[in-house]
Amino acid sequence: MNYKAPRGTHDIFGINALGLNVLEQKARQIFIKHGFEEVRTPIFEDASLFTRSIGEATDIVEKEMYIFEDRKGRKLALRPEGTASLVRAYIEHRLDVSFPSGKFFYSGEMFRYERPQAGRYRQFCQIGAEFYGSLSPSADAEIIMLACDVLSSIGIEKVNVHVNSLGCQKCRPLFRETLVKYFTSIDDLCQDCLRRLQTNPLRLLDCKIDSDKFINVPKMDDFLCDDCKEHFNLVQNLIRSVNCTYIVDPKLVRGLDYYTRTVFEIRSNALGAQDALAAGGRYDNLVKELGGQDTPVVGFALGSERVLMAAQHSGFFSTLNKNEKVFIAIADQDLISEAFAFSIKLIRNGLKGNNDISVFGPVDNKSLTAQLRFADKIGASKTIIFAKAELGEGKVLVKNMIDKTQNAVFIDQL
């Protein structure tokens, strides 16, 4: 049998793995500047944690979770997102009592049984941040700016920031009721819409199939209570004050149940159907619903693979791995130990003070011609050749692989 990576997963090599690392590193630096602290939570959790927090009637819980039983029959799930785990950890470690205004960030793999396509995978990486304990619109604005700053740190500047408010427990029920009446009056809804009308009517707003039928749809904006309205206006004033251009998008509802008030999504024109780079919002009831003290939270997550796809157009990848490649060759097989010792020294000390080099070789049992061919194949700029005659004088041959010139140089001078 020829094994293949499971559907919807992929192997990440070389420059792409480096890109992922650099993105995480840049995000980490930005989060730390904003006073956020890193948290690493397990990759699997009690399955019911996700059902309760994300919501029974959401796509993730209904059809996308990887659920399994362990040897003791416990029902566990691979995490489909980071928020539920972080809230669980926050409560479990009693931070809701001892450290209620914490700022945390995470990065790592998430798992969703979705239909794979470009930009949508079954295993993907997210980077996210969450600000606990603040009801202030400035926390929402800071989270939106954080997401934008991480994107711009790798050259992604042209994005569309969509914002909306979903109201609170006071004002959303009337909106929901009005929506149900409105949608019930529409014929020929798709199967998903018919189902969601019973369970999660807000989700009909972002249905891609039926959207043309929805004319004069009720807008949450008209139902927001005074507090929610003021909150939303302030969030907008704050992000405007730092020159963020955004669109108020009444259709933005997000796929997870826990959101209250602000929701946002950052989209890229450079991508196809899966154009959301980052998304988030406020969840003021989640900590309490999961058993903690009443603590508001606002957060976001970005999808690293999608962000890196958008970065293909931003010139980010051309800034990565500029190391000069140097190949160590041996003209005589019995010089392998001298060449090996030299290569380790070179890795440790660099070449004439230049530490940005990557060293390859030596390899034995290959002719010098084959070694030089290999050096060309990996894109080495120089090959350092160990040959008996030159080594006797304390020298090696340095071959410039671009113009193919070659000089004997004292090893000490390298």
Residues that bind ligand AMP (CB under 6 A): 81, 112, 114, 119-121, 124, 126, 255, 276-279, 301-303, 305-306
Nearer to ligand AMP, 145 or 363 (CB): 145
Q: Could you give the dihedral angle defined by the CA atoms of residues 305, 310, 311 and 312, in that order, rounded to the nearest 10 degrees?
A: 100
- Token code pair at residue 294: 């009443």
Q: Which residue is nearest to ligand AMP (CB)?
A: 303
Nearer to ligand AMP, 7 or 181 (CB): 7
Closest distance of CB 9 from ligand AMP, Å: 10
Provide, rounded to whole angstroms, the least separation between the CB of residue 409 and ligand AMP. Answer: 50
Of the two residues 44 and 360, which places its CB atom closer to ligand AMP in the complex?
44
Taking alpha carbons only, the member of 379, 370, 301, 365 closest to residue 332 is 365
Nearer to ligand AMP among residue 129 and residue 329 (C-beta): 129
| Side-by-side strand order, sheet with 395-400 | 357-360, 324-330, 382-386, 395-400, 406-410
What are 412's two structure tokens?
């000490």
**Spatial CB neighbours of 378, under 8 Å, sequence gap ≥ 6:** 325, 327, 360
Least CB distance from residue 127 to ligand AMP, whole Å?
9
Rounded distance between C-alpha atoms, residue 29 and residue 52, angstroms: 33
Which residue, 36 or 121, has its beta carbon nearer to ligand AMP?
121
CB of 52 to ligand AMP, least distance (A): 16
Residue 145 burial (C-beta neighbours within 10 Å; 0-12, 13-18, 19+): middle
Shortest Å, Cβ 356 to ligand AMP: 32
Adjacency order of strands within the sheet including 103-111: 37-38, 103-111, 123-132, 297-303, 276-282, 260-267, 160-165, 246-248
Nearest distance from residue 31's CB to ligand AMP, in Å? Answer: 16
Within 10 angstroms of residue 303's Cβ, the number of other Cβ atoms is: 21
C-beta of 152 vs 358, nearer to ligand AMP: 152
Minimum distance between the CB of residue 13 and ligand AMP, rounded to whole angstroms? 18
Q: Which residue's CB is nearer to ligand AMP, number 81 or number 371? A: 81
